[in-house]
């Protein structure tokens, strides 16, 4: 296998790795590697020093010039933190049904048809009704006491 092929394969693997780790860095290193492979194949560069120089320069220049535009492509889109927090706040005070008995303060509840991991200081059994006290991302804190007012 020629050095050009190795550079090109390494570049493709690096670019594809962005699908798993969206740091938006590996794609630019991959572009640098593919560029070196193509230039080697064309015979425009030969020495290891020139390969490494081109690889470094192309990787850094492409990173500086294009990272901001490409970040949206590879990183996807997310909601504004404020918007996500307000959605979580809407769940506070909502009624839930206990799906599994709580053991050592942890169990499962159903909120709006979706099962959630939950914690509670109360002893809750499957089928009991509880209310959401707080929402910590993927885990709810619930209580057997209904809050005075829904927040």
Same domain for 92 and 133, yes or no, is yes
Q: Is it the case that residue 92 has pLDDT exceeding 90? A: no
Of 75, 108, 133, the last residue of a domain is 75
Report pLDDT digits (tens) over 106-132. 999 998 888 889 999 999 999 999 998
- Burial label, 94 (beta-carbon count in 10 A; 0-12, 13-18, 19+): middle
Could you tell me the residue range of the domain that residue 109 belongs to?
83-143
pLDDT at 14: 83
Report the number of distinct structural domains present in the chain. Answer: 2
Measured CA to CA, the distance from residue 95 to residue 27 in angstroms comes to 46
Q: Is it the case that residue 29 has pLDDT exceeding 80? A: yes
- The answer to the question of residue 151 being in a domain is no
Measured CA to CA, the distance from residue 75 to residue 21 in angstroms comes to 9
Confidence class for position 84, pLDDT limits 50, 70, 90? very low
Measured CA to CA, the distance from residue 116 to residue 96 in angstroms comes to 10
Same domain for 36 and 96, yes or no, is no
Helix 26-42 to helix 3-17 angle (10° resolution) is 160
């Amino acid at each position: 296998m020629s050095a050009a092929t190795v550079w090109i394969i390494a570049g493709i693997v690096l670019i594809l790795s962005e699908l798993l780790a969206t740091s938006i860095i590996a794609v630019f290193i991959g572009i640098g590697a593919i560029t070196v492979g193509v230039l080697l194949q064309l015979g425009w560069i030969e020495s290891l020093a020139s390969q490494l120089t081109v690889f470094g320069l192309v990787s850094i220049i492409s990173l500086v010039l294009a990272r901001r535009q490409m970040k949206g492509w590879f990183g996807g889109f997310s909601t504004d933190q404020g918007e996500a927090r307000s959605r979580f706040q809407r769940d506070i005070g909502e009624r839930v049904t206990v799906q599994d008995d709580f053991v050592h303060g942890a169990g499962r509840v159903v909120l709006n048809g979706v099962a959630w991991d939950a914690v509670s200081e109360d002893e809750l059994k499957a089928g009991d009704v509880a209310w959401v006290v707080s929402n910590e991302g993927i885990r709810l804190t619930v209580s057997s006491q209904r809050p005075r007012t829904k927040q």
